[in-house]
């Protein structure tokens, strides 16, 4: 999810619903629309500096595009990287790649009929892309059940944190050595349905993570959790359910949207519930956006 610096615009993508389109919400008007970027099954969105973000779209096994956009005007493509069977072509403002994430993962075919999960490292100054194969992932995980999620660069180092679906131990990957160098344990239990999201903390060799029902700040160098906060107990109607897909604040309001098939529930502030907001603990409707005073 991308939120601009003024907290007016929210941009997201749910692959099974939005496909290769951006979901765009203007909090000042409440207007919601889709912005198609082309063909494909889903988008990967990564936020950058100055309200810029990258959208990675896989059109086919041998063709993918990564485009740079501004949150204020998502339809406009400011810079484009097109990769077809391992051949990279840059167009637009190449300097903008310095302000957005330049590392992502995708299944891609560099050779005829050979599709592998690859790590892409964009070098906009040289106009090249470095492809790194990930044999530790291909050989050690269920490729149908455990997808690679968005990697997070560790500041001031050549390390990445690479989260994997349904696994509580993100991989620590060394870009220079081109190999896995360890893992970080986020939970002291086996959780086959584990879901988490990693976020980089600027200027620190730490990363913040949201792991199903906990929020934590981790230290990569010592591979330990500095602090963990319980977000929900896992009891009652929320147990085993997905959490709210979108949440942000703007002009003193809180906006939320339920995840598909999640049966998400929220508690609205007592006495401050505007028309259209569900009562406390009421199920939210899928894909409907609610707003209430913050």
Of 231, 257, 282, which residue sits at a domain end?
A: 231
Q: Confidence class of residue 144 from pLDDT cuts 50, 70 and 90?
A: confident
Q: Do 10 and 87 lie in a common domain?
A: yes
Is 138 within the bounds of a domain? no
Q: Do 169 and 222 lie in a common domain?
A: yes
Are the beta carbons of 61 and 115 closer than 8 angstroms? yes
Q: Do 200 and 253 lie in a common domain?
A: no
Q: What is the pLDDT of residues 184-242, one digit of tens each?
A: 887 654 444 444 555 554 444 444 444 444 444 455 555 454 444 444 444 433 333 33
With a cut of 70, say whether residue 121 has pLDDT above it. yes
Is 251 within the bounds of a domain? yes
Q: Do 150 and 195 lie in a common domain?
A: yes
Structural domains in the chain (count) = 3
Q: Do 207 and 112 lie in a common domain?
A: no
Q: What is the pLDDT of residues 22-64, one digit of tens each?
A: 999 999 998 999 999 999 888 999 999 999 999 999 999 899 9
Is 180 within the bounds of a domain? yes
Is 236 within the bounds of a domain? no
Of 133, 160, 179, which residue sits at a domain end?
A: 133
What range does the domain containing 206 cover?
A: 146-231
Q: What pLDDT is recorded for position 218?
A: 52
């Amino acid at each position: 999810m991308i939120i601009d610096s003024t907290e007016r615009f929210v941009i997201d993508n749910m692959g099974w619903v939005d496909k290769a389109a951006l979901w765009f919400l203007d909090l000042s008007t409440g207007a919601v629309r889709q912005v198609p970027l082309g063909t494909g099954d889903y988008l990967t969105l990564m936020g950058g500096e100055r309200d810029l973000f990258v959208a990675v779209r896989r059109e086919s096994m041998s063709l993918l595009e990564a485009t740079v956009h501004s949150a204020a005007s998502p339809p406009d493509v400011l810079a484009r990287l097109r990769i077809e069977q391992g051949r990279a072509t840059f167009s637009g403002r190449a300097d903008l790649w310095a302000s957005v994430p330049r590392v992502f993962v995708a299944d891609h075919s560099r050779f005829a009929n050979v599709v592998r999960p690859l790590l892409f490292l964009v070098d906009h100054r040289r106009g090249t892309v470095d492809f790194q194969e990930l044999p530790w992932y291909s050989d050690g995980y269920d490729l149908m059940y455990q997808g690679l999620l968005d990697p997070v660069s560790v500041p001031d180092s050549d390390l990445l944190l690479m989260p994997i679906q349904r696994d509580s131990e993100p991989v620590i990957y060394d870009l220079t050595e081109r190999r896995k160098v360890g893992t970080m344990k986020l939970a002291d239990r086996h959780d086959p349905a584990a879901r988490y999201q990693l976020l980089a903390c600027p200027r620190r060799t730490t990363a913040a993570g949201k792991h199903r029902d906990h929020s934590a700040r981790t230290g990569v160098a010592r591979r330990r959790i500095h602090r963990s906060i319980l977000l929900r107990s896992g009891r009652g109607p929320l147990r085993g359910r997905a959490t709210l897909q979108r949440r942000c604040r703007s002009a003193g309001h809180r906006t939320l949207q339920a995840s598909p098939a999640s049966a998400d529930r929220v508690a609205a502030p007592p006495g401050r519930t505007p028309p259209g907001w569900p009562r406390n603990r009421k199920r939210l409707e899928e894909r409907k956006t609610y707003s209430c005073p913050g």
